[in-house]
Amino acid sequence: MGGLSAEREISLQSGQAVLAALLANDIDAIGLDVGEDAMNQIQQANCDRAFIALHGRGGEDGVMQGALEMLGIPYTGSGVLGSAISMDKLRTKQIWQAMGLPTPACKVLTANSDWAAIVDELGLPLIVKPVHEGSSVGMSKVDSVAELQDAYTVAAEYDNEVFAERWITGKEYTTAILLDEVLPMIRLATPNQFYDYDAKYLSNTTEYLCPCGLDSEVESALQQLSRQAFKAVSAHGWGRVDLMLDEEQQPWLIEVNTVPGMTDHSLVPMAAKAADISFKELVKRILQTSM
């Protein structure tokens, strides 16, 4: 847990919750707040397997997975390839597009982009995102050409790759996947412009609706779409797929999270609870993905 990414504090919260649940399961577990000397820390811990509760770069992007592969230590969740692709929002979208799966149109931005041309192509509003960040870090909604360059500058503080994505007006949902099971979907409702960092971790005004309010046939279809999107990027074990349903009831895939949050505000534990899976049991099942 912990690590060096922009999501360090959330990772520490997730890690502490997971550690408590592992110990409650009578599992001989220790917590490692990994830093720049992560390889030595892990080797010195002399563990049989690793529960990865690292969010963001260095932990969720294939780097830690590759390190554990080198050390011969089994670990939870997706492997190197699935982790690396899923952390890269742009390549994830390109794979979905190639497979004909619905995801909003986007355009890569640079400091020299023709901002007016971007808006002409994608329309307004837009959302600007760093390619390799999670937890909505560095993301901005753009309502005019004049705002686009500023949004790019904000995102570029976090990543050297940035893209603009067509804004989808509609309802936001998330689908948790645990082993071969697709858990009940959750609808997210926030008074913020979108489900941003504040809405995810700090706000008490965010609503989490589970049951999500969709007809069972619609929910089932979206769950299967989520499973397909998850497998498309070589993700496995456990994770979460975020998507939106626009005003015409058209689904749009947004992103995949291969190490979702495990805090008291987190979505996978909520979905598990709706499926009568306690947090303690959820953590045990996630650990089984390392077997």
Domains along the chain with CATH numbers:
8-76 (3.40.50.20), 85-102+169-288 (3.30.470.20), 106-166 (3.30.1490.20)
Q: Among 56, 62, 79, 261, which one carries the catalytic annotation?
A: 261
- Does the annotation mark 248 as catalytic? no
Residue 199 has pLDDT above 60, yes or no: no
135 is catalytic: yes
Options 77, 173, 195, 240, the catalytic residue: 240
Of 59, 201, 219, 226, the catalytic one is: 201
Of the pLDDT bands very low, low, confident and very high (cuts 50, 70, 90), residue 205 is confident
For residues 281 and 277, give the distance between their C-alpha atoms in angstroms, rounded to a whole number: 6
Take residue 95 and report the two structure tokens written for it. 């794979």
**Which residue did the predictor score with more confidence, 137 or 127?**
127
pLDDT at 265: 78
240 is catalytic: yes
pLDDT at 182 over 60: yes
Q: pLDDT digits over 18-49, tens only?
A: 999 999 999 999 999 999 999 999 999 999 99
SS (H, E, C) 132-184: CCCCCCCCEEECCHHHHHHHHHHHHCCCCCEEEEECCCEEEEEEEEECCEECC
- Of 14, 78, 257, 266, which one is the catalytic site residue? 257
Q: What is the pTM of this model?
A: 0.92
For residue 6, the model assigns a pLDDT of 85
Read off the pLDDT of each residue in 4-27 and give the average, rounded to a whole number.
96
Q: How high does pLDDT run on average in the chain?
A: 94
| pLDDT value of residue 147 | 96
CA distances from 54 to 63, 65, 95, 261 (A): 11, 11, 25, 9
Average pLDDT of the residues in 213-222: 97
Distance CA(121)–CA(37), nearest Å, equals 45
Query: Out of 78, 135, 136, 266, which one is annotated catalytic?
Result: 135
Known catalytic residue: 261? yes
User: Please, what is the Cα angle at 234 between 233 and 235, to 5 degrees?
Assistant: 90
Ranked by mean pLDDT, the top range of 85-99, 122-136, 189-203 is 85-99
DSSP conformational letter for 27: -
Q: Which of 7, 60, 88, 165 is catalytic?
A: 7
